[in-house]
Amino acid sequence: MKIDIVVEKKNDADMLRSSLPSGGLSGVRFFASDGRISGASLSRNLLVKEGGFVFLLLPSSASKDEFEVSHCLLKNVANPDRFEVMPLDSERLASRVLEVSKRGR
């Protein structure tokens, strides 16, 4: 199953890429919005145009409202079983990516 991970900054993507186990995760792609577009908009575009599963990782400084708005935006274009909005946490992400990849096989 194709899995896309959207973060705010390229440094975050590099850190997460190095922290995920490499075996069996060939379908994982990383995207950084880098201020050009919101992470929620980038995630929405990926869901609509490419399908698969999308993780939108927001920084720990994001407010509860930012999480809710991002979730609502994505829920308007995809079933909640095709995306997850969560805080930037490499350990939690690693376990969730493994769960989603096993589910998609």
Q: Is 98 inside a domain boundary?
A: no
Question: Based on the structure, what is the number of domains in the chain?
Answer: 1
User: What would the pLDDT profile of 52-97 be if each residue is shown by its tens digit?
Assistant: 999 999 998 999 999 999 999 999 999 999 999 999 988 888 888 8
Q: Is 80 inside a domain boundary?
A: yes
Q: Is 13 inside a domain boundary?
A: yes
- What's the per-residue H, E or C state across the chain? CCEEEEECCHHHHHHHHHHCCCCCCCCEEEEECCCCCCHHHHHHHHHHHHCCEEEEEECCCCCHHHHHHHHHHHHCCCCHHHEEEEECCHHHHHHHHHHHHHHCC
Q: What pTM value is reported for the model?
A: 0.91
Q: Is 105 inside a domain boundary?
A: no
Q: Is 104 inside a domain boundary?
A: no
Q: Is 99 inside a domain boundary?
A: no
Q: Range of 17's domain?
A: 3-93
User: What would the pLDDT profile of 41-58 be if each residue is shown by its tens digit?
Assistant: 999 999 999 989 999 999
